[in-house]
Structure 1
Amino acid sequence: MFNGPALLRLAFLGLVSAVPLERTHPVTYSHWYDDELALLELSLLDPYPALGKPRLTFKPDGTFKITVFSDLHFGENPWDDWGPQQDVNSLKLMNKILPDEKPDYAVINGDLITGENTFKENATTLIDQIVGPFNAAGVPFSTTHGNHDNQKNITHQEEILREQQVAPLSYTRLAPNGVGGQDGPGNYWVPIPAPALVLWFFDSRGGFTANATSTAVPDWVDESVTSWITEQTERMEEEWGPSEDRSALAFMHIPPHAIIKVQEGGIDSTKNPGLNADTLGKGSVQAASDEPFWEALTSKIKNLHAIISGHDHGNEWCARENNKNVVFCFNKHSGYGGYGREGWGYGVRNFIFSSPDPKVPVQSWIRLEDGETRAHVTLDSSYGR
């Protein structure tokens, strides 16, 4: 179907690989195109319109709002009444918050499914439930995947492929072959043209392999992602102009290793408002092996307003990492599955851009299921200093 140059151009995007399409992504992309001409007409740096997705833009008033869900943990204890009821509760939260907040875009930042609990024969059908509220609300969205999404009964790739089948407004993509390491295929970006904003999504992996011997999967963004970040940012500058002219946000489920020292340095409830109930340490952040990724993330992606993670359900603060001069924010635990404590509550983190101008500060806050808001911060150059 494709000649050599076409394959190489599309492989750069991550839409196909350098090996035959049928072997690599049999469900993901092959049915989205009628002929080679449609593929070759793709903008290398905004594939989504050609994939049948609406072009994402700031509103006429210059705003763009993102609502972030995290740690839904669907599929727990399917053998009793308690587990399915938690999924019902999580869906109720999602179906309340989406029409209330009316985001322009949404993110689910990892641990969609508790893969060690759910049954293998129907694990991917939980994705149908999870994306249902986004389909119903007509909200475009992306997902990252977490350590509980790589387990004996599910993998990141299986979840992504299912999402692409059942969610027309999903902007989630698979990384090109060779990017992401073992069981880490969810590395991609979503542009908000002019382009004014790039949303980056990284696969922090973790969990266990889905086979009979089930071994541990490394719990950090693989080093192969570093060269990919460099390649992608260089291409963006070639086609879009200086990176200083646009904003960025970065999402990954497990927090970078460097955030341990941020918490150890002190989280001030006034300067860094929000719940601070989980102490970071082994297992609650990426392993120190994430250093190459951390270096590429913080040096190559400019105007990075925040790096956002979930994983630690008891935290919801934002703070500045001073060595790299970047802001890190926790999500809010959204799902009734997974661990929690009385009084923590369930909700989302919102971000609102008031202008496409990357120099204009971004507002962020936690919104709980009952409508309460807290931990409002202005992410500007002085935040967290």
Structure 2
Amino acid sequence: MLAIAVLASILGGVASTPLPSSGSPLATDLNPYPTKPRITFKEDGTFKLTVFSDLHFGENPWDSWGPEHDQSSVKLMNTILGDEKPDYAVINGDLITGENTFKENATTLIDQIVAPFINANVPFSTTQGNHDNQPNITHEEEILREQSLTELSYTRMAPPGVGGDHGPGNYWVPVYRNAYDQSPVLILWFFDSRGGWKTSTEFVPDWVDASVAGWIQSETQSMESAWGPASQRGAVAFVHIPPDIAKPLQDNLDSTKSPGDNEDVLGDGSTQNPNDSTFWDALNLNVPNLHAVISGHDHGNNWCARDTNKNVVFCFNKHSGYGGYTRGWAHGVRNLLFTSPDPTAGVKTWIREEDGTVKASITLDSNYV
């Protein structure tokens, strides 16, 4: 078992077996995945994340083009996972176009979506989006289906009372320098921005619920008690619908400093309601070394820009799926490469399109404005 674990720490990604911490019981108890392998940096000190977004499976199943789009999305996922070989992957919302699904088979679309990760043996997490809350599908149902299909899924749900109506997907994933370290060097945060419809007439609020703010504070306090000061850890956050601050960022966007497509004009429905300020304030107050907050939702945007009020960088994903509106845009992903376990070290990020084209390369560090 020791040899297997050492090999896993060399290769990075997932340690082959869950390993106990050699520290206080509190450090062990805080690990939210006691039966799962630890996610780790490679021996060379790097960690690569590939972020898919807006797959929109299940559109128009009664027409030939709907299933054909899903097949194209699966092909894209297989191609990119095979080429990029990430240590971890994320799907950042709108896995399914829920308004087109049927109650009796809606969650089976998750089977198609997670298959490429299973085939590539890549651990992953998901956030859910507004199209994942519809009369025939909910965020909770998608998460439960995903969890039942593979141990490679690290998606989970927040405790009862956290997340508000139809917003259970608030959680974090620790990433360790190696499989034996007592405390992680990176935390991946995932937040549920909700949205969509409970019934044909009942709308789900489209912002991260205020209850998440208190949860962020309590979780970070527990981390500090178990692992020491938060300054010793880096962080990245994922949430499907962009925070409300994305609108003024777009209004003042400098395309030289913020390369990437800027084809969706943000307005009502394109970002979270200003009610997200409670969440946004808590995130930035309690999570230092936050390299970026990353969203999808607006398919024509894939730029990054710094919110100078909070001194944090916001980034859009790249629209990945063949479902959802495209307007002729290419499909692809956002990659993030952590070049060091040092929580203050710069993170390289770029857009990779399906054909291998690389665009909008920047480094997320203190010099990025």
- TM-score surpassing 0.5? yes
Aligned to 2:243: 256
| Residues 257 and 290 in structure 1, CA contact (< 8 A), matched pair in contact too | yes
Aligned to 2:9: none
Where do 5+ consecutive residues of structure 2 fail to align? 1-24, 177-182
**Seq. identity, %:** 67
Looking at structure 1, the residues matched to 116 and 204 of structure 2 have their Cα atoms a distance apart, in angstroms, of 31
| Of 74, 96, 103, the match for 2:86 | 103
| Residues 26 and 226 in structure 2, CA contact (< 8 A), matched pair in contact too | no
- The one-letter code of the counterpart of 2:189 is W
| Residues 206 and 217 in structure 1, CA contact (< 8 A), matched pair in contact too | yes
Aligned to 2:335: 350
Answering whether residue 268 of structure 2 is matched by residue 282 of structure 1, we say yes
Give 1:259 deviation, angstroms: 1.2
Give 1:123 deviation, angstroms: 0.4
- Match of 2:48, SS state, is strand
Give 1:46 deviation, angstroms: 1.3
| Residues 127 and 159 in structure 1, CA contact (< 8 A), matched pair in contact too | yes
Looking at structure 2, the residues matched to 359 and 156 of structure 1 have their Cα atoms a distance apart, in angstroms, of 34
Aligned positions of 1:1-385 closer than 5 A: 43-48=28-33, 50-51=34-35, 53-193=36-176, 194-209=183-198, 211=199, 214-265=201-252, 267-342=253-328, 344-384=329-369
Looking at structure 1, the residues matched to 43 and 84 of structure 2 have their Cα atoms a distance apart, in angstroms, of 18
| Residues 27 and 227 in structure 2, CA contact (< 8 A), matched pair in contact too | no
The alignment's TM-score, normalised by the length of structure 1, stands at 0.87
- Match of 2:235, SS state, is strand
Looking at structure 1, the residues matched to 132 and 72 of structure 2 have their Cα atoms a distance apart, in angstroms, of 20
Give 1:42 deviation, angstroms: 8.8
4+ residue runs of structure 1 moved beyond 3 angstroms? none
Give 1:45 deviation, angstroms: 2.1
Give 1:44 deviation, angstroms: 2.8
1:279-331: CA deviation from partner (whole Å, max 9, x where unpaired): 11100000011110010011111100000000000000000011111000000
| Residues 54 and 320 in structure 2, CA contact (< 8 A), matched pair in contact too | yes
Where do 5+ consecutive residues of structure 1 fail to align? 1-39
Looking at structure 2, the residues matched to 257 and 270 of structure 1 have their Cα atoms a distance apart, in angstroms, of 23
- Match of 1:249, SS state, is strand
Give 1:214 deviation, angstroms: 4.4
Give 1:43 deviation, angstroms: 2.5
Looking at structure 1, the residues matched to 327 and 68 of structure 2 have their Cα atoms a distance apart, in angstroms, of 18
- Match of 1:120, SS state, is coil
Give 1:41 deviation, angstroms: 9.5
1:55-93: CA deviation from partner (whole Å, max 9, x where unpaired): 111100000000000000000000110100000000000
- The one-letter code of the counterpart of 1:110 is G
- The one-letter code of the counterpart of 1:128 is D
1:225-254: CA deviation from partner (whole Å, max 9, x where unpaired): 000000000110111111111100000000
- Match of 2:187, SS state, is strand
Looking at structure 2, the residues matched to 205 and 115 of structure 1 have their Cα atoms a distance apart, in angstroms, of 13
| Residues 152 and 214 in structure 1, CA contact (< 8 A), matched pair in contact too | no
- The one-letter code of the counterpart of 2:232 is D
- The one-letter code of the counterpart of 1:58 is F
1:186-214: CA deviation from partner (whole Å, max 9, x where unpaired): 000000124100000000000001x4x54
Looking at structure 2, the residues matched to 167 and 106 of structure 1 have their Cα atoms a distance apart, in angstroms, of 14
| Residues 198 and 248 in structure 1, CA contact (< 8 A), matched pair in contact too | yes
- The one-letter code of the counterpart of 1:170 is S
Looking at structure 1, the residues matched to 307 and 141 of structure 2 have their Cα atoms a distance apart, in angstroms, of 34
Looking at structure 2, the residues matched to 103 and 45 of structure 1 have their Cα atoms a distance apart, in angstroms, of 26
| Residues 27 and 226 in structure 2, CA contact (< 8 A), matched pair in contact too | no
| Residues 230 and 288 in structure 2, CA contact (< 8 A), matched pair in contact too | yes
Q: Give the number of aligned pairs.
A: 339
